[in-house]
Structure 1
Amino acid sequence: MMEGRKVSLAGSGPPLCPGSLHGQVGWKELRSDVTPGPSWEGEGSRACARNQEGGTNPAAAGATSGEERLRIQGSGRARRWIQRIQGSGRARRWVQRIQGSGRARRWVQRIRSRVRLTGRPEEEPAGPGRGQPEPAPPVPPFFSLARPGPAQPGPAARGAASSSPAAAMSGPGAALALLLLLLALPLPGLLQARPRYEPTWGSLDARPLPAWFDEAKFGVFIHWGVFSVPSFGSEWFWWYWQKEKREPYVKFMDTNYPPGFSYEDFGPLFTAEFFDANQWTDILKASGAKYVVLTSKHHEGFTLWGSKYSWNWNAVDVGPKRDLVAELATSVRNRTDLHFGLYHSLFEWFNPLFLEDATNAFKTRKFPTSKSLPELYEIVTKYQPEIIWSDGDGNAPDTYWNSTGFLAWLYNDSPVRDTVVTNDRWGAGSICAHGGFYTCSDRYNPGHLLPRKWESCVSVDRGSWGYRRDARLPDYLAVEDLVQQLAETVSCGGNLLMNIGPTHDGRIPVVFEERLRQVGAWLKVNGEAIYGTKPWRAQNDTLTPGVWYTFSPEEGKVNAIFLNWPVSGILELGEPQPKLGETQVKLAGYKELLKWVALGEKGMVIALPQLTPQQMPCQWGWTLQLTDVN
């Protein structure tokens, strides 16, 4: 995380040893090999498809042309058929059940991407200049049935699966796939061309945020990397030790490591031998979170996947010798309905290419074109994350990063274009101004409604986002603090992203696991007041402190989350306007209706049930559900 710091990098930094960042590979070698090959969605992607063994160019394999597709969709008979299907109550309920399944959502998403890749009229690729998408890694062949992950089928497997796109989508399976796709898409989406976004903030900011993100409300952030090895002070260990030379960090290294020990020497010690993706996934599921965001690369530049653009400084070549991103992504998608997202740092503290660009006042763009942007295209096409959580602009403007060009590709042509959400950290000046949802600053909490969707990211460890061995018990947020953060954030229209830091050997420390499971237990009782809610007309109560409101639109319920159980057993609320003989009050997790008395035209006094601690529906905050209130 950036911690709101202004970092000055130009012409600064510690002395660099040859090959220090990437093992024995020198930077001259790296810089000569990092230019991405032609892989943008024009000639590059078509050439890639032609070159696959046993594969062919989708456009030449009998795929439906854009004109033919529009002609079919535009026929009156087809429209009436779709309307009859969509108008059937039985069909609607069946489709809702299918759409509620995470597995079905991902399957339909893959079908949509294949239809797009084969049915869209061909377009000329955009150039790689500023304001245009950079060359992207090859889009996987559309007939590949592999889940997002590191391994794609080999040539033999691809040839066995299908000799052409047309064959891959033929037979009874094609009919069912087409029916699901037609039902899952609203009729206007079939008959009208999808809007395309220009590489400008005005166009990109107008893109509607996919609905799932606002409905999710709660996610888990995971900060994991080489900084987990020293696990001292902060995930900014390298910067504080070698750039700012803070005394505690220098002393720590002098005391515990031999002279000449470099930060790169921590790489092989990042072992992850206890990392069990399924165990992590089960803990994430128990937390009640609806999405997870993993740091694929922090400011140190070490990637948790085997990036082609980070030789000998990634988890496949150094340390675990495993694709950690792929393992967690696969497990999350196979075992839960959580949405999988990736954090990615734009800049790297001590990368010579970035330092050279910074010295040139960012008038040269060697680093983003050869390192940062290719990595972004790589993780999107390879792992298909539904959240891109960008960070770390290094004080460089968004034009240096070509952020608008990348986002235009992401929203228009990427395999996750329909579901992906992005944040606001895309260059100096973009935070809290441009992007999908706003984060504004670390631990952001405005305390009031904002005109745009926002997210508050809060670390369970008050002092660090990564794991640190020197943390003390008071440094950790209690579950009461987390429940309060969640209630306040959701009542003001935000999402809460709760951060944990695993150890270098791949364990989620028990204090983090406990907090995750405690929040999950609270959500089992009070989840109706969180998931899928909207802000009410009042965010907090004007009479009793510590009461936060949300609104459940489908049930028409007002949820009053109160954090302190009154000793008197009487709770006064100043905001609701009850209706005599109609308003009902219920305590979440308790069966009986509660008695209440109106306080004039506005406000009410509610008699809470007399319960022992063992009878309480939960221990750290409670929800009153009010129906039929003005």
Structure 2
Amino acid sequence: MRDSSRFDALPQRLPDWFRDAPLGIFIHWGAYSVPAWAEPTAELGAVESDLGWFAHNPYAEWYFNTIRIEGSPAAEHHQEVHGGAPYDDFLDQWVPTEFDPAAWADLFRRAGADYVVPTTKHHDGITLWDAPGTGDRNTVQRGPRRDLVGEIARATTDAGLRFGVYYSGGLDWHVRPTDPLVSGDDVGDRLRPRDDEYGTYCSAHVRDLIDRYQPDVFWNDIGWPDENFHFDEGGLGELLEHFYAQRPEGLINDRFAGAHQDFVTTEYQAGEIPEGQPWENCRGIGLSFGYNQVEDASQYMSGAQAVRHVVDAVSKGGRVLLNVGPRADGTLPELQVKALEALGEFMAEHKAHLAGSRGLGELEIPGVSWARAVEQEGTCYVFLSGPQGRVSLSGADLPVGYDWPAEGVEVDLAGEESAPIAVSAPRTAGAAAQG
């Protein structure tokens, strides 16, 4: 039984490192990276109803589920290309010969990221370390025959970045098999496992992750088994207490079915930005988190779009957990690398203006199609994109308390496909500092 008062008594944290982090890197890598196939349909949240969404799921990491939906394009692809082979065959075929975790971490650091969160167990139930109770169904005993979580953790911390772990507590299609999930109700309620035995299994995994790898982010997904909402041995409450005790600067997301949270998450276009709470948007550079060989440049964000996405989130008080989906061999797709390198060029100049800033939101400026503002140490920084040409900003409205320099400001915009440029405006003389 859930002891709400004890969950309410858990600490709620916003450590300085997370408050000052505009960008994190998500990594979705698994056996699903071998077939690497999904129908590139639309971003989550861009379709009003989930009717048909799961049969046409653009998330390649959901391959195990999508191929079991009769008549889905993924089911047809799986039969034609893989002869209807068992999903676990992909675990044995997963051989990351080109995996270089140090090179990954260096790229993420240069992109301006402060933290890295790899998947340790996705909904297929395959763990990327030798997790307790998994037998040989993990990457140490089969397939890669490597502790991928450990290697990513070491490379991440060696690069001076914070390390976190993603874990699917709400679904495990191997340990708790179900009929194919075909609706949001299936995922969030009807077919989600609720029993304490499964919850204890998950709790043992996450405790092992905490003790082995010292993560600073515990990023759960799809809720948690309801009967495990207790503080006895193996319960979620005991697990969260252990995490906070071991990781004084650690924090957790909001995907524990309401048990506890330190920050709110949105995903692609789905979810609401919370009022007055820390939040994070997660999304892939393309339409999928896991690598999808079908995607091309028309589905991927350009470097400029990735920059604008990060600036937009920060201007509204949030941050972005931007996902990479490596190929099975451990290489990062070129379009993903290109976007991260463009982010890095921008962040090298402007991260200091974003980190720890106060978001001032969107601005309407004549002649400019996109404008976002933040405040940093008494200065308003405005980021602008628009059609190529010179624009005068002197008559444009700024947030209350700031004004353009007396000599005026003109900017040369480089075009809609270019990264935004930044201009600054000091606080108006006599204006009170804003918190």
TM-score when normalising by structure 1: 0.58
2:243 matches 1:410:
yes
2:256 aligned to 426, 439, 443, which one? Answer: 426
Instruction: Report the equivalent of 1:305.
Output: 129
Structure with more strand by fraction: 2
Aligned to 1:84: none
Residue type at the aligned position of 1:574: D
Are residues 1:237 and 2:40 paired?
no
Verify: 1:365 aligned to 2:171, yes or no.
no
| CA positional deviation for 1:355 | 5.8
Residues 47-70 of structure 1: CA distance to partner in whole angstroms, max 9, x if unpaired? xxxxxxxxxxxxxxxxxxxxxxxx
Q: Give unpaired runs (5+ residues) of structure 1.
A: 1-129, 133-197, 586-593, 597-605
Matched, 1:258 2:77: no
- Cα 1:361–1:308 shift into 2, 3 Å: closer
Q: For 2:79 and 2:346, how far apart are their aligned partners in 1? A: 45
1:546 aligns with 2:393: no
Could you tell me which residue of structure 2 aligns to residue 476 of structure 1? Answer: 300
Per-residue CA deviation, residues 588-623 of structure 1 (Å, 9 max, x unaligned), is xxxxxx931xxxxxxxxx223x69x7xx9x941011
Contact 1:329 1:340 (8 Å CA) reproduced? yes
Residue equivalent to 2:27: 222
Decide whether aligned partners of structure 1 residues 408 and 278 sit closer, same or farther in structure 2, where only a CA change above 3 A counts: same
Structure richer in helix, relative to its length:
1
The alpha-carbon deviation at position 476 of structure 1 amounts to 0.6
Match of 1:282 in 2: 106
The answer to whether the 8 Å contact 1:216/1:290 transfers is yes
Aligned residue for 2:286, secondary structure, equals coil
Alignment of 1:56-135 (within 5 A): none
Q: What is the alpha-carbon distance in structure 2 between the residues aligned to residue 310 and residue 268 of structure 1?
A: 15
| TM superposition shift of 1:350 | 2.4
* Structure-1 separation of matches of 2:157 and 2:148: 14
Q: Percent of aligned positions with the same letter in both sequences?
A: 24
The residue aligned with 1:340 is 163
Query: Which of 404, 420, 424 is matched with 1:621 structurally?
Result: 420
Indicate the structure whose relative CO is greater, using CA pairs within 8 Å and at least 6 residues apart: 2
1:206-226 CA distances to partner (integer Å, 9 max, x unpaired)? Answer: 523212101011111110011
Residues 484 and 444 (structure 1), Cα distance of their counterparts in 2 relative to 1, 3 Å cut = farther
**Counterpart of 1:560?**
382
Are 1:455 and 2:280 an aligned pair?
Answer: yes
Go from structure 1 to structure 2 and tell me whether the alpha carbon gap of 1:404 and 1:440 turns closer, same or farther (over 3 Å shift). Answer: farther
Query: Is 2:94–2:143's contact at 8 Å kept on the other side of the alignment?
Result: yes
Shift of the alpha carbon at 1:232? 0.5
Partner SS, residue 88 of structure 2:
helix
Which deviates more, 324-333 or 541-550? 541-550
Counterpart of 2:21, as a letter, is A
Q: Is the CA contact (8 Å cut-off) linking 2:379 and 2:426 kept in structure 1?
A: yes
Query: 1:150-549, aligned counterparts within 5 Å?
Result: 200-204=6-10, 207-233=12-38, 234-242=60-68, 244-258=69-83, 261-334=85-158, 336-353=159-176, 364-369=195-200, 371-393=201-223, 396=226, 399=229, 402-411=235-244, 413-414=245-246, 416=247, 418-427=248-257, 429=258, 434-444=260-270, 446=272, 450-462=275-287, 464-536=288-360, 539-544=361-366, 545-549=369-373
Residue 353 of structure 1, CA deviation = 4.8
Find the counterpart in structure 1 of residue 46 from structure 2: none
> Judging changes above 3 Å, is the alpha-carbon distance between structure 1 residues 393 and 577 closer, same or farther for their aligned structure 2 residues?
closer
Post-superposition offset of 1:532:
1.8
Distance in 2 (alpha carbons) for counterparts of 1:346 and 1:240: 20
User: In structure 2, what is the Cα distance between the partners aligned to 1:315 and 1:518?
Assistant: 32
Pair 564,395 (structure 1): closer, same or farther in 2 beyond 3 Å: farther
Specify whether residues 351 and 365 from structure 1 end up closer, same or farther in structure 2 by C-alpha distance, changes over 3 A only.
Answer: farther
Report the Cα offset of residue 283 of structure 1: 1.1
3-state secondary structure, aligned to 1:302: coil
CA shift for structure 1 position 409: 2.3
Q: Which amino acid aligns with 1:419?
A: E
User: Residues of 2 paired with 1:326 and 1:500: CA distance?
Assistant: 18
The number of residue pairs the alignment matches comes to 392
Alpha-carbon distance between aligned partners in 2 of 1:530 and 1:328, rounded to the nearest angstrom: 26
Instruction: Check conservation: 2:379, 2:427, Cα contact below 8 A.
Output: yes
How large is the RMSD of aligned CA atoms in angstroms?
3.0
1:437 deviation in Å? 0.4
Is the 1:341–1:388 contact (alpha carbons within 8 Å) kept by the matching residues of 2?
yes
Name the CA distance, whole Å, in 2 between partners of 1:403 and 1:465. Answer: 27
Aligned to 2:410: 607
| Worse-matched range after superposition: 542-551 or 303-312 | 542-551
Q: Determine the structure 1 residue equivalent to 2:43.
A: none
* Distance verdict in 2 for CA 1:363–1:568, change over 3 Å: closer
Q: Indicate how the Cα distance of structure 1 residues 217 and 280 shifts in structure 2: closer, same or farther if over 3 A, else same.
A: same
Offset of 1:508 from its aligned partner?
Answer: 0.7
Q: 1:476 to 1:395 in 2, by over 3 A?
A: farther
Deviation at 1:576, TM superposition (A): 4.3
Q: Give 3-state SS (helix, strand or coil) of 2:74's partner.
A: helix
> CA separation of 1:455/1:577 partners in 2, compared to 1, >3 Å: closer, same or farther?
closer
Gaps of 5+ in 2: 39-59, 180-188
**Structure 1, residues 396-429: CA drift from partner, whole Å, max 9, x if none?**
5773894333212222x22x1x1111100013x5
Q: Is the 8 Å Cα contact of residues 131 and 405 (structure 1) preserved in structure 2? A: no
User: Which of residues 365, 370, 391 is equivalent to 1:569?
Assistant: 391
1: CA distance, partners of 2:254 / 2:391: 44
Over 3 Å counting, the alpha-carbon distance change for 1:560 and 1:331 in structure 2 is same
* Structure 1 residues 177-202: Cα deviation after superposition (integer angstroms, max 9, x where no partner): xxxxxxxxxxxxxxxxxxxxx97332
Change (3 A) 1:443 1:270: farther
Deviation at 1:559, TM superposition (A): 0.9
Please give the alpha-carbon distance, in whole angstroms, between the structure 2 residues aligned to 1:578 and 1:346. Answer: 46
The 10-residue stretch of structure 1 (524-533 or 310-319) with the greater mean CA deviation from structure 2: 524-533
Structure 2 Cα separation of the partners of residues 230 and 566 of structure 1: 42
Question: Structure 2 vs 1, CA of residues 246 and 275 (structure 1 numbering), >3 Å: closer, same or farther?
Answer: farther
